[in-house]
A and B are shown apart, each in its own frame.
Chain A
Amino acid sequence: MAVELDVFVGNTTIMDEEVYQLWLDGYTVNDAVKVRMEGGVMDECEASADVLQSDTMDQYRTFQMCERLLHSPAKLANQLLFQIPPHRQAMLIERYYAFDDAFVREVLGKKLSKGTKKDLDDIGAKTGVTLKSCRRQFDNFKRVFKVVEELKGPLVENIRHHFLLSDKLARDYAAIVFFANNRFETGKRKLQYLTFQDFAFCAGQLINSWTVGALDNQVEDMDVDLDKEFLQELKELKILISDKDLLDQHKSLVCTALRGKTKAFNEMEANFKNLSRGLVNIAAKLTNTKDVRDFFIDLVEKFIEPCRSDRWTAGDMRLYLTHYTNSAHILDTFKHQVVWDRYMGVIKSCIFKMYHD
C-alpha cells in the first residue's frame, strides 16, 4: 500500500513561510519534515508525520513551480497560474533573494563566473550553507548582475524596480554587484574580520561619491564604474606628502588641534607622517585597476593596523580623521580641496566602519 499520488491545490495558493524557508535553505523533503516535527507543528491540528510529509511535498512542488517566476519577479504579479495575494508575493520575492551573510562574504568581489560556481561546494562546506542554497544565492547574484549591467540610472533603484526588492536588500545587491564588477579583494586573511555589512556600507559610500553616477545620473554603468577622471585627479593629492613643507604644516595643524584631547596623542604625533603617506599613496595609486582591487587591503595595512597596534579607540580615530581632513583646508598652498573632500569623505566613513575587532 503506497501513496501513488497526493496533491492539494488551493484557488489561493497556500504557502507556509516556515516551509518556504526550509526549501530556500536547501533542505530535502525528509529533512524538512524532521525539522518541522521538532518545531512542534504536529501539535497543532493533531497532525501526524504522514500529514506533514504530504504537506511538505505539496509546498515544495508549489515552490518549484514558482521558482521560474521568481527569476523575473515582475512576472509574478501578472502571471495567471498562481493566485497569490500581493503581500505574499512580496514575501516570496524578498525571501528568495535573501542570502546568507556568511556565504556572500565568501564570494564578495569574486568574478560571478562558472569557475566560481564550481567552487560552491567548498564554500558550502566552509559556511555550513547547503549546496542547493549556495547555488540559488549565487545564481541570484549573477542574475541581478546581468540585468543591471545593461541599465542606465541609479543602481539601487534599478535593482529595486526590476526585482521588486526592499530598499535594504536592493542596497545589499548593489554592493554585491559593485564588488563583483570592480573585483575588490576581500578574501585575504587580514580582511577576514570584516563582515559583509561592513563591505556593503563601504560599497554604498563608494557608489555615492566615487562613481560616475555621483556627478551625472544618466550614464551607463554610472554606479558600477569608478569615475576615471576623479581617480586621475587623486594623483594631485601626492603633494601633501611629497612637499615636505606641506607635510610638516599639515602635521602641526593636526597636532595642535589634537593636543590634550586624546590619550593616544603621542602615537598620533609620532605616526602622522606614516599614516598620511599611507592614505595619500592609496589615493594616488587608484588609477591602476590592480590597486583598486587592493583598496581595502591597503586601507587595513596602511592605516587601520598601525592605529590598532597603537590602541587607538574608535573615538580617537574619529577625532584624528576629522582633524586630518579639515586641517588640509587651512593649508594655503594646497589647491585640491574638492578632490580632497571627495576622497576623504569616503575614506573617513569607510575607516570608521572598518575600525573594529
Chain B
Amino acid sequence: MPGKLKAKIVAGRHLPVMDRASDLTDAFVEVKFGNTTFKTDVCPKSLNPQWNSEWFKFEVDDEDLQDEPLQITVLDHDTYSANDAIGKVYIDIDPLLYSEAASVISGWFPIYDTIHGIRGEINILVKVELFNDLNRFRQSSCGVKFFCTTAIPRCYRAAMVHGFVEELVVNEDPEYQWIDRIRTPRASNEARQRLISLMSGELQRKIGLKVLEMGGNAVVGYLQCFDLEGESGLVVRAIGTACTLDKLSSGSAPNTNTHIHPNTAPASNACNSPSKDGKESPLAHGCRSTHNSPVHSACSSQRLSQNFSVSVPTLIFTGMGSGGSAGKEAGPLKTLLRQQTQTALEQREFPFFTLTSFPAGFLVHVGGVVSARSVKLLDRIHNPALGNTRSYKLLDWNSVTADEPETRDAWWEEIRQEIKSHAKALGCHAVVGYSESTSICEEVCILSASGTAAILNPRYMREGCLDIGSTDHRFEEPSPPSCGFCHIPYDEFNMPFPAQLTYCYHCRRQKVPDVLFTTIDLPPEASVTGKGCLIQARLCRLKKKAQGEVNATAISNLLPFMEYELHTQLMNKLKLRSMNALFCLHIQISVGENMLLGLASATGVYLTALPAPGGIQIAGKTPGDLSNEHHILTIQKRINDTIAKNKELYQINPPELTEETVGSPIPEPRQRHRLLRSHSESSDELSELDLSHGKKDAFVLEIDDTDALEDIHSLLTDASPPTGFYSCNTEIMPGIFNWTSGVQMFTSVRVLRLSNANLTNQGLNKTFTDLCENLLKSFYFKLRSMIPCCLCHLKFTVAVPEEELIQVTVTAVAMTFDKDQSQEKLTEKPTTKGSTETEEQLQFPLELSTDLSTNMQTSNKISGTVSLLTPAAKLYQNQLIMVHSAGVPESTTVSPRAASVDYGSFADRCSTWLELLKMKAHTIRRGSVKTISSLDRSSPLPEGRSRSLRSNRSFGGSSVPVVKMTPVSFLPGTRIIKYLGIINMFFIRETTSLREEGGISGFLHSFIAEVFAMVRAHVAALGGNAVVSYSMKECVLMENPNKNQAQCLINVSGDAVICVRETDQEPPSVANIGQTCCSSADGAT
C-alpha cells in the first residue's frame, strides 16, 4: 500500500442560490477517490460556507494515484428530495507524486458544472504521503516527470536523451452508449470527463513505465491527443521523448536558457568541462526498443477485412532547383560521424524526437521535412471486455485485453515506418520535431505524422552527458554551429531529390541547399539576417459526398494534390518575402463531408548560410500577345515591388558577397524545379525587371489560365502586419532579442457558414484565405496597445464541424519587445531591460520605500557612471553592480517571502533602462526584503489616480493570484525556477438555453474564459504563477440552434511553473515556495 492521499475541505464562496425560498444554500461536499467517498457536514443557509473539515484519508496504490483524479462534488442538501449537485472539481494529483514538485495542492478552485459552468469556488487542501516501493514489477511509474515543453526544460540539464515513447488506450465513448439515451446530459458529460481523465492518467502511467524501462526519468515534449471516433470509440494517444534530466542548481541555469550569440556560441570543442563523471547510464536500457507494443502479425489481414487503408505518397522536400555542381569533399568526416551516430540510433525502432529545440551541438545537420499521411476507415473498436451487454461501467483496465488498441497501434506503426524510411532517404538517421495528428469525419480518419529528418550528435545518445564538448574530440564539428545544421546531410552525388546546392555562405566549406524547410524551432545559435514572419498556405478542395471506401479513396486521391499546392504556395510566399528557410512548418489537412481543408503554417526566415532566394518571374504562355504582355508586366512589377517592400520590412540586407569569395560555380542558366507549371522559358523582355533579384534563378510562374492568375492574386493579397507588429509560429521571433515582460495569451475561434454560391474551389480558397487573414487583422487590432509586439507561437487549427462550416481556432501569445534595441543582437538571454510598453500588466504596483533617500543616492551615482557606457556594455555593467552590491550586508537578509517581491513591475513602469538600473541597484541593495516606496514618479498613472486606486484595493478581501499563460516555453524577463507538473485538463460544457447565454458566441466565450480560469486555479493551487507551453489541443463545438442547444469539448495542456524575475536573487527554500507564492499572491505577478 504505497500511498496515502489526504484531502481537506476548507470553505466555499460565491455559491449559487439553490433554495429559492430562502435565497440561500445548504451546501455539503463529497470527496471521492477511487471507490471511497467521504462527506463533510452540511453547512446550512450560507452562500459562503465554512466547512473546515477533518482530513479525509484515502489509502491507495500508487497506480491508482496516477490514474484516478480526486473528485470533489459540492451538493445542496435537501431534506425531502434528492440532493442537488452544484458542481464538481477534478484534481489531478499527479504533480504531488514527484519528489521535487509541489508538496501540497491548496487553493480556491472554481466549482464546475457541465450545464451551468462555474458556480462559485471551493477551497481545498490536498497532500500525498508516498511510501517507497521497490517492487520491480510494479505497474506505476510515480516519479517520472512529464513536460509539454518541446525543449529541455529550463532548469534541467539533459544527461541523456533516450528517444521516442508512445502509447495509446481506447475505450467506448460514453456519449455513444445506449444508456446515454436515458441518463441526463449532465451525467453523460461527467462520465465522459471522468473517463478521459482516467484514460489520460493510465496513458501517462504506461508511458512512465516505458521511460523507467529505458532508464530515463522524464518525458519531454509530451503530446497527448484524443480521437473522438464517435460510434467506434475514443482513443487517447500520446507521444514524447524520454530523457534523463538532472536538475540544475539555479546558479548554473544560464547554461541552458541563454540564447547563444551566433559568433560566440561555444562549439562542441569550446570548453572542456570536467564532467566526464562516473555516471554510466544503463546503455542496455537506452538501446532497447522503444516500442513495447506487441508485433502485429495479424494486422494486414485485419486491415483488409475491416479497414480501408491508403497510404499517401509523401512529398519530401528541402530544396528546389537542380543541383549538379561539384563540391569540395568534406566526406570522410561526415561519413565517420554518420556511422557513429547510426550505431547509436539504428537499434531503435523509431529514432524520433518530439523536441523542437535542442541543446547546443545536439543537432548536426538537418535534411528536410518528412511527412506521411494515411486514410483509414474507422470501425467499432473491438472491445471484448464490454461484450454484448454493452452496459456502461468504467473499465477495469487490467481486464481489458491488450489487443484492442492494436489496430490503432498498427496504423501508427505503419506511418512511423514510412517516416523513418523517408528520413533514411534523406541520409538522416533521426527525425526531430516529430508530431502526429488525426482528422476525423464520420468514419473516415486521416492520420498524419511529420517531422524533420536530421543527423544528431551521437554523444547525446551514448553517454550520460550533454555537456558541451565534454570529451569526444573525434567528432569535433568541422563547421561552426551557426550554419552547421544547414549543411546537407545527404550525399551530394546521390541526392534524394533535385536540389540546387551551393557552398555555405557562412563557412564556405560545405554544401547547403537553396531552401530549407523544417518542423523544428530555429536553433538559437543559427545566424539569421533580418526578421522572420509567419507564412501560411491555405487551400480548400471540394469533394463529392460519399460513403465508406469510395470516400476514403476520393480523399486519398486528393491528398497528394493538396500537399503539392500547399508547398507551391509556401515556396512562392517565401520567395515573395525574400527568405530562404521555413521553421516550425505545420501542415494540417482537415476532412469534412464535402471538402478538404489544408492549412500550412511556418515561420520564414533568411538564413545567412543559405543563398539569397531568387525572385519570382511571371511568364505568359503566348509571348506574342501584346495586351497580355502589358498585363504580365504590371503583375511582375507588383511582385517585384512587394519583394522590395518585404526586404525592407523584414530588414533583410544580407551582406554582399564578392564574386570571388563565393567561389562556387554558379549553376547553369535557368533551372526550374519540379514544381514548375510549364516548361516554357521566361521571356527575355522581363530581364530588365529581373535585375533586382541578382543572378539567382528566378521562380517562374506562368499565367496560362485563370487558375494561375488567381494564385498570383492570392499571393499578393496576404497583408503584412501593421507597423509595430510581427508574427511567427516559432517560439520567438527570429531577429528579435530584447523581449520585455508584457505577455498576453489568447484563444480565438471563428466559424464561417458557407453559402452555396461559394462552393467552388476558387471561391472556397478565397473565403478560407480571407478568414485566416481577417483573424490576423483582428488580433493586430485588439492587441494594438501592446505595440511594439510580436505574436508568437501562432497556432491555427482548422476543422470542418459540419457540411458548410469552417472552424478556425487560434492560440497564440503577444509578447512585447523593446523597439529601441531591436536592431542589436544581445549576447545574453533577452531580459527586461527597461521597457517602453504601454499595455496594462497584471502586476500589482509594488510598493517600496523605507530609506529611499540613501538608496537613491547610491543608485544615482551608479547611473552616473553607467550612462557613459555604450548599450553593448550595459549588461556587464549590470553584473558589476550586482557583484558590488552583493557585498552589502543588507542583501544577505533574505526573507522567506522573497518570491513575492516583483522587480519586474518596476521594469514595466520604467521608461528607460537607466531608471531600471537605478531600481535594480536599489532593490539589490535591499536584498529581497519587501520594501515600500514612493516611486510613483515613474508610474504612467497620474499621481492622484494611482493613489486612489491603491486605497480602493485595500478592501475587497483576498485577491486572486495572477497566473500568466503562454504557449511558449518561457516567460520573457523571468527565470523558471521550478516545474510543478503537467496540466492536462478536459472539459465538456453543454447548454440547453443557447439563446439566453448569448448565442453560440456567448456560450463559447464564457466556456473558454472558464477553462482559462480553471487552469489558472489549478496552477495557483500547486503554488505556481505561470503556465508555459500551454496549448488548446481540442476545441470541438456542436450546435443545434433549433433546439437551442450546444455542446463543446475543450482539452488543454501545459506545464505549471514557478518563475521569478530574472533579477531576483535565489528564491527561498524549495519547501515553502509554493505557499509563499500562493499566499502572497498580490506581490507576485
Q: Residues on A close to B: CB < 8 A?
A: 1-14, 44-48, 50-52, 54-55, 57-58, 61-62, 64-65, 73-83, 85-88, 90, 93, 161, 164-167
Contacts and interface: CB of A to CB of B under 8 A. Distances in A.
Contact of B1001 (A2, A5, A50, A76): A5
B1005 A14 contact: no
A164 B956 contact: yes
Contacts of B118: 80-81
A2 B755 contact: yes
A92 to B, nearest CB: 11
A290 B767 CA distance: 70
B737 to A, nearest CB: 24
B780 interface: yes
Interface residues of B, number: 70
Contact of A166 (B783, B948, B1013): B948
A51 B841 CA distance: 24
9 contacts: A6-B750, A7-B1001, A8-B746, A12-B842, A55-B782, A78-B956, A81-B118, A83-B963, A161-B955
Nearest to A13: B1009
A77 B744 contact: no
Contacts of A87: 840, 941, 946, 949
A93 B963 CA distance: 22
A10 B955 contact: no
Contacts of B1010: 81
Contacts of A1: 752-755, 758, 767
A2 B753 contact: yes
Q: Nearest 5 pairs between A and B by C-beta?
A: A77-B956, A5-B751, A10-B746, A8-B748, A4-B751
Contacts of A62: 1005
Contact of B745 (A7, A10, A55): A10
B840 A9 contact: no
Nearest to B779: A8
A241 to B, nearest CB: 47
Interface in B715-754: 719, 722, 725, 744-754
B1016 A80 contact: yes
A86 B959 contact: yes
Given A79-B14, A86-B949, A87-B941, A2 B959 contact: no
Contact of B957 (A12, A74, A93): A74
Given A1-B755, A14-B744, A82-B1009, A6 B840 contact: no
Given A83-B962, A86-B949, A164-B955, A9 B1008 contact: yes
Given A9-B1008, A10-B744, A14-B744, A80 B121 contact: yes
A15 to B, nearest CB: 9
A86 B14 contact: no
A3 B754 CA distance: 9
A86 B1083 CA distance: 12
A56 to B, nearest CB: 11
B719 A50 contact: no
B877 to A, nearest CB: 32
B781 interface: yes
Contacts of A75: 14
A167 B974 CA distance: 38
Contacts of B751: 3-6
Interface in B75-101: none
A88 B840 contact: yes
B843 interface: yes
Given A9-B1012, A81-B118, A85-B843, A47 B1005 contact: no
Interface string B291-321: 0000000000000000000000000000000
Given A45-B722, A55-B781, A74-B955, 9 more contacts: A1-B758, A2-B753, A9-B1012, A11-B745, A45-B784, A54-B778, A78-B959, A79-B14, A80-B960
B906 to A, nearest CB: 16
Nearest to A168: B948
Contact of A46 (B777, B782, B1008): B777
Given A7-B1001, A10-B746, A83-B1016, A167 B948 contact: yes
Contacts of A166: 948, 952
Contact of B956 (A10, A61, A76, A88): A76
Contact of B841 (A52, A77, A85): A85
A79 B119 CA distance: 11
Contacts of A81: 110, 118, 1009-1010, 1013
A76 B782 CA distance: 23
Nearest to B1008: A9
A81 B1006 CA distance: 9
Contacts, number: 179
B72 to A, nearest CB: 16
B390 interface: no
Nearest to A165: B952
B110 to A, nearest CB: 5
Interface string B748-766: 1111111100100000000
Contacts of A14: 744, 746, 782-783
A8 B1017 CA distance: 21
B631 to A, nearest CB: 28
B934 interface: no
Nearest to B121: A80
Contacts of B1016: 11, 80, 83
Contacts of A86: 844, 949, 953, 959
A237 B890 CA distance: 69
A9 B746 contact: yes
A14 B783 CA distance: 9
A45 B749 contact: no
Contacts of A83: 842, 960, 962-963, 1012-1013, 1016
Contacts of B805: 4
A44 B960 contact: no
B953 A80 contact: no
Contacts of B957: 74, 77-78
- Which one of B782, B805, B941, B953 has the greatest number of beta carbons of chain A within 10 Å? B782
B752 A78 contact: no
Contacts of A9: 746-748, 1005, 1008-1009, 1012
Most buried by A among B767, B955, B998: B955
Contacts of A55: 778, 781-782
A28 B962 CA distance: 33
B1001 A6 contact: yes
B1004 interface: yes
Name, among B745, B781, B784, B1013, the residue most crowded by chain A CB atoms within 10 Å (CB to CB).
B781
B44 interface: no
A273 to B, nearest CB: 49
Contacts of B1005: 7, 9, 58, 61-62, 65
A166 B945 CA distance: 10
B958 interface: yes
A45 B962 CA distance: 29
Contact of B959 (A7, A58, A77): A77
A189 B895 CA distance: 67
A10 B813 CA distance: 9
Given A83-B1012, A166-B948, A11 B965 contact: yes
A156 B840 CA distance: 30
Given A45-B781, A83-B963, A7 B748 contact: yes
A48 B776 CA distance: 12
B964 interface: yes
Contacts of A90: 948-949, 952-953
Contact of A7 (B753, B767, B1004, B1017): B1004
B13 interface: yes
B52 interface: no
Nearest to B1037: A5
Contacts of A48: 774, 777
B718 to A, nearest CB: 13
Interface centre among A3, A13, A64 (most CB of B within 10 A): A3
Interface in B825-878: 840-844
B623 interface: no
